Amino acid sequence: MGVELDRVGPVAVVTVDSPPLNLYTAALQEEFGDVLAAIEADLPRAVLFQARGKVVSGGVDVSLFDAQGTRGDAQRLFDTMLDLPERVAALPVPTVFAAHALCLTWAFEIAVACDILLAAERAGFGLVENVIGLTPTMGGTQRLAARAGVGRAKEFVFTGDRYPAATLERWNVVNAVLPDEGFAEAALAYADRLAQGPTLAHGATKQVLRHFESGGVPEANRHVTAIAAGLFDTEDLRGGVASFLADGPGKATFSGR
């Protein structure tokens, strides 16, 4: 138990299983980092992040903060924590987060670092660091602002309230709310659908959007043509074009090469 990595066809499935609350601890950080290293070394065609138990996560083990003796110690801890969502966001393949239940603090910050956030109807979300006088440290505030706007991010963090999945879908934070029944299977099917597609092209899309996030449309425009042109060296694009010309749209199969 801790953080598990399985391969289901072309999808790498990362499962947090640290009962009873899947709290963030130093040990979980290390295990999560090791799993990401394995994924980075042998890239799948998509990654699904999920959790087992009654909650996705109840948050961070607060004793971890109590153990920090100085401001410098705290910043080193926060730098280490931020490394996880940064590495998730940097993966060049589609990433999906499946929230089946309550998803607080660090787990929510991993979720919004993913490309797609799926939620079960019963799921809830919150950044509740205000209860100990802290602000979120793993990128959740700014990634929430990128999806929902600065005003919503302030509301979410200032109140520390728990928000239902339907609300965050309305805010464009959650991509889709799915029925509780069969949620895990539906989330895996979603990730598999992305994995079966032109994943190198999906990676190119992620590159373009990173430029957009850093400098808007003008910055993205400076890079998009070179990024797209790079796909002409791939089997997927060459095969996709040939398939379209021979058989029409929607018949191509892709290998991720």
pLDDT digits (tens, 9 = 90+) for 64-111: 898 999 999 999 999 999 999 999 999 999 999 999 999 999 999 999
Structure-token pair, residue 21: 């609350």
Token look-up 């598990």 returns 4
Domain ranges of the chain: 2-195, 199-247
The two tokens of residue 71 are 């401001």
**Residue pair 112/96 in contact by the 8 Å Cβ criterion:** no
Separation CA 128–CA 109 (nearest Å):
12
Instruction: Report how far residue 34's alpha carbon sits from residue 4's, in angstroms, rounded to the nearest whole number.
Output: 10
Distance CA 27, CA 198 (A): 36
Residue with tokens 């934070």: 173
Question: How is domain 2-195 classified at the CATH fold level?
Answer: 2-enoyl-CoA Hydratase; Chain A, domain 1 (3.90.226)
DSSP secondary structure of 149-196: -HHHHHHHHHH---EEHHHHHHTTSSSEEE-STTHHHHHHHHHHHHHT
159-178: pLDDT as tens digits: 999 999 999 999 999 999 99
3-class state of residue 216 by DSSP: helix
Question: Given this model, what pLDDT does residue 12 score?
Answer: 98
3-46 pLDDT, tens digit each: 999 999 999 999 999 999 999 999 999 999 999 999 999 999 99
Class of domain 199-247: mainly alpha
